[in-house]
Chains A and B, each alone.
Chain A
């Protein structure tokens, strides 16, 4: 109930194959959430073409754990932009 969308930003991607990049994202999320299934349920987007990272619905404490994983630059809550 307390989960919110967080963006996990990992900078430039280190693998050319986007499927490999996405698989890495799922593995990382699963390592914190406890299962692959939970990771698939929680994942909103995998950023795999122009850079590496993902968006997922996680709690604050889960976000903190993800932030400590190697390769993670920053975990930030998603927020809104508006038209100008």
Chain B
């Protein structure tokens, strides 16, 4: 966060912005369902904070190495832990000797401390990871209060029982939190929203019905399509982007060519030494230089730097290669790979530097063309600003939504790559209290922090109104006006399935002009449209409900986006917008239709005054395509000359419906 909030336009040094308009989120309570919290972290200091907000009914609960009266303060006002579901599902006792953890709200992973910092941490100046990313760490709402609901425990990848999660939702709703942040996901394929095992969508439904926005991560299963999780229409689902910061790490070859790789390498420079690429002699068919299965028998590794290649985007091949090379006496690794957007330090300051395939091939050609190739590896530097482009992270899960393709997911994107925030001393990547981590887990609390600010500014806005404000005002470019790319193979310009409405733009979201609002009635319409029976819906919402005789169309759910997954005949859908800007306003429609798609809006002009605050309009959509196509993208923008209220449009023509085209 030493860069991410400035990048999003929420710098405390700016004379005016949402941060100042909301007194830095004072009075708002952010609840997080996560791995707990390290209360001694400087980011949870409560200097200058006033009394605990009146609406707060929660509590801090003591436990192992956690003294509620000493560890909670006016910043960390709630801390509970939930393990009964986890224990009841584990046949063996939870052994905290083998898997260090505390039977208390205290965080071992560092994940919950990290997400809490991003959402609502206090200012801590001169923070860095071993000098990298130096700056001021803070949350999006630095004066908001935090409530940690520890539901995840230290078993591989951090496991969180759905029974515990649901109890945490139950308590958070009771306690009076203003926003709930959930950086958790499950496995694909997904469970449906209300009649199966998707606990997060059930808990979040009841939170949203009571006016509490729920922000969830889209998950880290990208860049494949249909991997987005937490897709219920009442959830605000967040994708992850990079920011305008990188950690270039010079690789100087013996021919004086310097290539800038990427690494979190804060160790000492490795002076000119041998550079090798493992290759098998003769006719041995296996490739020796594959990072995840290096064959070093025929390669002089001791004292040298090893180049390897991998097609795997994750960090696993890097870790495997480092282990092999260290064991063989090597002094560094250069990994040529597709971008994975997950940098991390290698243990004991061992240099492990990533380059892309193109630069890796140049290094390989140098090795093959030189009798005694050499290389120098220099420590990473921090580069911030315009030269660095913004990308949707490789790992960030992508739409379409596999449960309800007409509901655009993810909703929005936010920074989630190499974010510096507070962590636990048990976090092996932590230095001086801070660690750089990546994931939609990190993107999610960025949006939660912004939602906290919006709640402070517009206390009467519904969760749907807040979502609408975020989606319709999001950046389709980076903050400098340059395109946002989506990492993957190959890299492409990002579209709504990568980032929903776009990159979150907090200052614009504060004044969106119009909002696409929704309430429980709209969610009932959605549930009817996607086929849930009336008795289940009635019980879910706590009132007798009957779906209309004519089944409603999911296309008419009042979302701030339009997604048509199966266009064949002409379709007309409806939306309504509510004016939250100047009372007397006139908006005109501006349509950018997807290629080959006709889009017509009626009426084309919306006139608001003191009596007309909400207006419905129709959108007629037809296709000129005569074959089943992929998705094409466009947009509908309402503008009064000052506000731009933009809805992404995604349309797929399906002449043959329910058809898998595998030819």
List A residues at the B interface (Cβ < 8 Å): 4-5, 7, 9-14, 18, 44-45, 47-51, 53, 55, 57, 71, 73-74, 76-84
Contact = CB atoms under 8 A, between A and B. Distances in A.
B518 interface: no
Contact of B89 (A5, A45, A49): A5
A81 B158 CA distance: 8
A36 to B, nearest CB: 19
Interface of B: 34-35, 84-85, 88-89, 109, 111, 152, 157-167, 169-174, 183-186, 194-197, 199-200, 202-203, 206-207, 209-210, 217, 219-220, 439-441, 444, 536, 538-543
A84 B85 contact: no
Contact of A84 (B89, B185, B209): B185
Nearest to B229: A84
Contact of B542 (A11, A53, A78, A83): A11
Contacts of B196: 74, 76
Contact of B167 (A45, A73, A77, A83): A45
A5 B163 contact: yes
Contacts, number: 139
B162 A47 contact: no
A10 B202 CA distance: 11
Nearest to B207: A50
Scoring B166, B197, B439, B542 by chain A CB atoms within 10 A of each residue's CB, the highest score goes to: B166
Contacts of A9: 202
6 contacts: A9-B202, A44-B88, A44-B163, A53-B166, A74-B194, A84-B217
Contacts of A47: 166-167, 170
Contact of B195 (A48, A53, A73): A73
A82 B206 contact: no
B440 A82 contact: no
Given A9-B202, A79-B186, A82-B184, A73 B536 contact: yes
B155 to A, nearest CB: 9
B539 A50 contact: no
Contacts of B206: 12, 50-51
A46 to B, nearest CB: 9
A48 to B, nearest CB: 7
A77 B197 contact: yes
Contacts of A11: 538-542
Contacts of B152: 81-83
A4 B91 CA distance: 10
A50 B207 CA distance: 7
A83 B84 contact: no
A59 to B, nearest CB: 13
B424 to A, nearest CB: 13
B403 to A, nearest CB: 16
Contacts of B536: 73-74
B163 A78 contact: yes
Given A50-B206, A76-B196, A80-B186, 17 more contacts: A4-B89, A11-B539, A11-B540, A11-B541, A45-B84, A45-B164, A45-B167, A50-B169, A51-B170, A51-B173, A51-B202, A53-B166, A55-B166, A80-B162, A81-B165, A82-B186, A84-B219
A4 to B, nearest CB: 7
Nearest to B109: A83
B545 to A, nearest CB: 11
A7 B166 contact: yes
Contacts of B197: 76-77, 79
Contacts of B542: 11-14
Contacts of A51: 170, 173, 202-203, 206
Contacts of A74: 194-196, 536
Contacts of A14: 542
